Structure 1
Amino acid sequence: MQILNPPGWPRPKGYANGIVAEGRTVFVAGQIGWNADGVFVSDNIVDQVRQALENTIAILAEAEAGPEHIARMTWYVTDKREYVDNIPTIGTVWREVMGRNFPVMSVVQVVALIEDRARVEIESTAVVPPR
């Protein structure tokens, strides 16, 4: 993957402006903060982010992929202020689960998610290089 950042633009923090990649594409549906049994780990957004990211990694593993292959993520949050207030802790969780991989990302506040207890839903696209 090649990170794209136009000359003169500041370096983004925690995400990339653009990525170019070639390979096998893996699409991961929106993952929320429940475990493999469909039980929410917590009502706290940070805990739900961790679980949603761990769920994403588990699905990628089925395609012999990992966090380093994620090219794009869209996060849907139910409370922008809750998300913004927790960015430092979410950043810590990110580094623990995802390492130093920073895909193209968007965060969108939504009125609600289908699962009432969900505070965040994360969908991803990964690109696994040819072998």
Structure 2
Amino acid sequence: MAGQTIHPEGWAPALGYANGMLMPDGTLHVGGQIGWNRDKKFETGDFIGQMEQTLSNIVEIVRAAGGDVPDIGRLTWFVKDKSTYLAHQREIGDAYRRVMGRHFPAMSLVVVADLVEDEALIEIEATAFIGTESNP
């Protein structure tokens, strides 16, 4: 049995990738999300704003698969500027909690030279487990 593509209602089409893949065992793989909105438009060039939008995108995908924030087990962050990340720890924590509450899954942070979308300052991918009747 193949995985099911997860695409939140009303989002612009994902071309050449899936926003999420829900596997038969309930594992949800969320592809790297960036700080644009459902129309693939950046509303801010600010790191904190993009980070909050990125996390909101992940949560929306998880919810479209039938899960919620506590189902997220892993986040991998890719940032273009380590110094920006380190200089804004308080704001990052505040924005994180606005979206994720006090749920802190396993996380990694990777500093990268660039991201595919020029305006993107951050990309985050996630793994969640969506319980089903056969996989509680």
Residue of 82, 92, 108 corresponding to 2:94 = 92
**Structure 1 partner of 2:53:** 51
1:72 & 1:54 partners in 2: Cα distance?
Answer: 15
Q: Is the 8 A contact 1:75 1:108 kept in 2?
A: yes
* Post-superposition offset of 1:47: 0.2
**Structure 1 partner of 2:27:** 25
**Structure 1 partner of 2:105:** 103
* Post-superposition offset of 1:67: 1.2
* Post-superposition offset of 1:50: 0.5
* Post-superposition offset of 1:128: 2.3
1:99 & 1:68 partners in 2: Cα distance?
Answer: 9
User: Is 2:122 aligned against 1:128?
Assistant: no
TM-score by length of 1: 0.80
Aligned letter for 2:95?
Answer: V
TM-score by length of 2: 0.77
Q: Is the 8 A contact 1:41 1:51 kept in 2?
A: no
Aligned length: 109
- Spell out structure 1 runs of 4+ moving beyond 4 A: none
1:126 & 1:98 partners in 2: Cα distance?
Answer: 13
Which deviations, in whole Å up to 9, do the C-alpha atoms of 1:55-102 show, x marking residues without a partner?
001111111111111111100000000011111101011111001111
* Post-superposition offset of 1:127: 1.2
Identity percentage over the alignment?
42
Which deviations, in whole Å up to 9, do the C-alpha atoms of 1:24-73 show, x marking residues without a partner?
10010000000001100111110000000110011111111111111111
Q: Is the 8 A contact 1:73 1:104 kept in 2?
A: yes
2:27 & 2:99 partners in 1: Cα distance?
Answer: 21
